[in-house]
Amino acid sequence: MDPVIELDGLEVRFGDRTILKNLKAKLTGRSIGLLGPNGAGKSTLINTLLGFHKPSSGTARIFGRDVRTHVREVRSLIGYMPENDAFIASMSGVRFVRLMAELSGLPAEHALERAHEAFFYVGLGEVRYRALGTYSLGMKQAAKLAQAIVHGPKVLFLDEPTNGLDPPARLRMIALIQEIRDRGDLHLILSSHLLRDVEECCDEVLILKDGNIAAFCNLEEERRANRRFLELETRGGVNGAFVEAIEKLGCETASGAQGRLKLILPDGLEVRQLYQIASDQNVQIRRLSHKRDSLEDIFLKAMETADGHL
């Protein structure tokens, strides 16, 4: 599969400080999460891909277009929802989004039509003629999303899209992002400091730390692997005959804390077969759980220093 974004020895320096350090990666996912602590280089990477920062060495490509030599072409493919507000407060929402559509290259009449469509799509149809300065925080975030998608981009950059939102507004924003992702007509790059946002919306994740790539993985593969990783607890502790019986089915097993049993299911083996063996062995399974928090595990491991401490 051709990469959506390719980082080819990308470095960005400001003065004598190197912010991004020889980044190399090929991102192919439908929705890609960008994670990292403050100062890791997430915003610098996004701004470089948008053409606002010039690489000091190396380069990056979006759908094969080099960000150094094809800036206009790259920008025509991109929609960008910035973290910080950049509104003209006295302008109506629909007028602002129409302006952004025109700046993205749409003819005036088409831009107005698309602006109305975008506002209804993000749930702001009834307030599209109100001044942006009167919008609530949640409405402003939705308006930023509307201007990012109005021109039909191929790649959508979302920088902290749920920043500052209350729980109901966050759920609405996440649902919108998931709907856009599931339409399948564009690729998402979601930058966030919230693991939960990335977990719920992305199938690939790139983790930055101190300007380096600390981890890069396919979350879908991790999820599939986790569905094969179980931990169970039986009444009376681990039963040797039960363990022997499930090992004969190809399960890898290991004793866990407090009498729990950890196991990895081989392909083709279903959980119901474990319950059948437990019934045959007169063993009561009190608790059975799949491995959870895979992204948190990945993130924490990526943040470890060389000596193993956080």
Calculate the alpha carbon distances from 51 to 12, 68, 111, 218, 247 in Å.
12, 7, 24, 27, 55
Q: What are phi and psi of 26, to 5 degrees?
A: -120, 115
Contact by Cβ (8 Å): 187, 155 = yes
Calculate the alpha carbon distances from 214 to 102, 234, 303 in Å.
39, 38, 7
Whole-number pLDDT of residue 266: 86
Residue-averaged pLDDT of the chain: 90
Mean pLDDT of 116-125: 96
Q: Is the pLDDT of residue 134 over 60?
A: yes
Which range is least confidently modeled, 2-16, 20-34, 133-147, 250-264? 250-264
All domains of the chain, ordered by start, with CATH?
5-218 (3.40.50.300), 227-294 (3.30.70.100)
Q: What are phi and psi of 242, to 5 degrees?
A: -65, -45
What confidence tier does 168 reach under pLDDT thresholds 50, 70, 90? Answer: very high
* pTM as predicted: 0.79
Give the CA angle between residues 12, 74, 149 to the nearest 5°. 110
Q: Is the pLDDT of residue 171 over 90?
A: yes
What confidence tier does 307 reach under pLDDT thresholds 50, 70, 90? Answer: very low
Q: Is the pLDDT of residue 222 over 80?
A: no
Give the CA angle between residues 229, 232, 238 to the nearest 5°. 125
Work out the percent of the chain whose per-residue pLDDT is above 90: 62
Query: What does the block give as tokens for 33?
Result: 């999460």
Whole-number pLDDT of residue 225: 66
Mean pLDDT of 193-203: 91
Whole-number pLDDT of residue 306: 34
31-84 residue pLDDT tens: 999 999 888 999 999 999 999 999 999 999 999 999 999 988 998 899 999 998
Q: Is the pLDDT of residue 310 over 50?
A: no
Short-list 116, 122, 172, 157, CA closest to 143:
122
Whole-number pLDDT of residue 286: 87
Whole-number pLDDT of residue 91: 96
Contact by Cβ (8 Å): 197, 159 = no
Whole-number pLDDT of residue 308: 41
Q: In what order do the strands lie in the sheet with 229-234?
A: 252-255, 260-264, 229-234, 285-290
- Check residues 34 and 264 and name the one with the higher pLDDT: 34
Mean pLDDT of 116-138: 96
What confidence tier does 292 reach under pLDDT thresholds 50, 70, 90? Answer: low
3-state SS, one letter per residue, for the chain = CCCCEEEEEEEEEECCEEEEEEEEEEECCCEEEEECCCCCCHHHHHHHHCCCCCCCEEEEEECCEECCCCHHHHHHCEEEECCCCCCCCCCEHHHHHHHHHHHCCCCHHHHHHHHHHHHHHCCCHHHCCCEHHHCCHHHHHHHHHHHHHCCCCCEEEEECCCCCCCHHHHHHHHHHHHHHHHHCCCEEEEECCCHHHHHHHCCEEEEEECCEEEEEEEHHHHHHHHCCEEEEEECCCCCHHHHHHHHCCCCEEEECHHHEEEEECCCCCCHHHHHHHHHHCCCCEEEEEECCCHHHHHHHHHHCCCCCCC
Whole-number pLDDT of residue 158: 97
Query: What does the block give as tokens for 265?
Result: 């299911």
